[in-house]
Amino acid sequence: MTMNFNLFMNDVVRQARDEISAAGYTQLKTPEEVEQAFAQKGTTLVMINSVCGCAGGIARPAAAHALHYDKRPDHLVTVFAGQDKEATEKARSFFTGYPPSSPSFALLKDGEICTMLERHDIEGHEPMAVIQKLQNAFDKYCEEL
C-alpha cells in the first residue's frame, strides 16, 4: 500500500511541476538557485507550489492566466513546498513579515518583497479572483511590456 501511495504522490508532484513549468516558471530546487534568481534586477513573481487541491485548482491556473496582461513581472520562478524544502526555506527568508504559506505568491522587486498573496487569499476563491489580485499587483509594481 505504501509503495502505491508513493508512486501516486510522485505522479502528483511531477504533474504539478510540469504544469507550472509549462506556464513559463523556472523551478528553483536549491537555496543557491533561489539566491541567484532573487538577485536579478526587476520584478520577480514567485509561486510557492504545493500538492494541495487549492494549488491545482486555483493557484497554478491563476499563475498561468494572470500573465496574459499588459504588465507582468520580468522573471517567473517557483519553489515547491514540501518537496524542495531547502529552496523553499531560502525563498521564505526573503518574505519578511509574512508567515510560511502554500500555495502562495510573492512579488519581489530587486530582491525585496513588495506584496504577497497568501493561502487565505487563494483557498476558497475562484481562479479569476486570484488572477485579478495578481494583476492588481502587476499594475502597481511591474512595467508595461
Active site residues: 52, 54
The three three-digit cell numbers of residue 25, written as one number? 516558471
User: Please, which residues bridge with residue 46 across strands?
Assistant: 77, 106
Residue 41: strand, helix, or coil: coil
Burial 127-138 (b: 16+ CB within 10 A, else e): beebbebbbebb
